[in-house]
Amino acid sequence: MLAVRRRWPSRTGRVVPNGTVRVASGQGCRQTPSSSPMAMPDLLSLPFFRPFTPQAVAPLSAQARWRSCEAGQTVIEAGDDAPDVYFVVQGTLRVATRSIGGHEIILNEIGPGALFGEIAAIDGAKRSAGIVAVTKTQLCVIAAGPFLEFALSTRDATLHLMKTLAALVREKDKRIFELSVLATRPRLIALLLRLARPREDSGLIVSPPRPHHELAAMIGTRREVVTRTLAGLQRDGLLEPMRGGLLLPRPQALRAELDAAWANAPAR
């Protein structure tokens, strides 16, 4: 079960109370000029294409488009039928869908190296979830046709796509099991560790800091429960609020607590 966030308006293009800029799919992101310092025309810089030779990915290079999005801008909307495949070069994006009542359900956050849109490219169905930039983001976009042509061009390419999808299924299974059997505190710890990045001095940091209602929507609980649990982690010296983020000064202790929770969880 997943908790829900605030009600989304339909595609209006205006700013909603939580500050997210709602725009039609793709309109918020701009094409990155080839002369821009952000431009990255080499597909081999993307993790998905690293196993392949320059010659193998050359046909796709001319098809690739590079886009940049500001924080809060919509990349795709749930229900869209444009079957492009997106590769995250830099930045963080939120994956979310809507309930029948119009409330947002946060499914995941993804960062550099991730790809999305491959499912719609394969089955031709409409987008099952929407994607919104959490931070300034750069994306590589490839149309479904050229992407599938590449994926089916050789046995190695097809197997690589299959392994990518298999890893996605495994991660989804783990998240579902996590929501089903872990208590709130270890679920929140697992989420914070996923969101965190290494800090220059020591420890990890979750930046930008996520509002408590968003954290709640990601682990299937209520905002006030997240607030109490974060306070408990702070009392235990495992979390320190700071300007621009949440510091996790003892990530090893958090991982040990999470491992213990998994060890005591019901068998799969």
* 65's tokens: 């488009």
pLDDT, mean of residues 24-29 = 54
C-alpha dist (Å) from residue 45 to 74, 131, 137, 139: 24, 22, 16, 12
What structural domains does the chain harbor? 30-176 (2.60.120.10), 182-263 (1.10.10.10)
Which tens digit of pLDDT belongs to each residue from 232-259?
A: 999 999 999 998 899 999 999 999 999 9
- What pLDDT shows up at residue 91? 95
* Residue of 165, 267, 246, 243 whose CA lies nearest to 203: 246
Token readout for 205 is 């940091």
Q: Give every CB contact of residue 37 below 8 A, 6+ residues apart in sequence.
A: none
**Euclidean distance between CA atoms 139 and 76, whole angstroms:** 12
Higher per-residue confidence, 118 vs 1: 118
pLDDT value, residue 145: 96
> With 50 as the cut, is the pLDDT of residue 206 above it?
yes
Q: Does residue 4 surpass a pLDDT of 60?
A: no
pLDDT on residue 33: 58
Bridge partners (DSSP) listed for residue 246: 206, 241
Q: Each residue of 72-104: pLDDT tens digit? A: 999 999 888 888 999 999 999 999 987 777 767
Q: How far, in Å, CA of 206 to CA of 247, rounded?
A: 7
pLDDT digit string (tens) for 134-193? 999 999 999 999 999 999 999 999 999 999 999 999 999 999 999 999 999 999 999 999
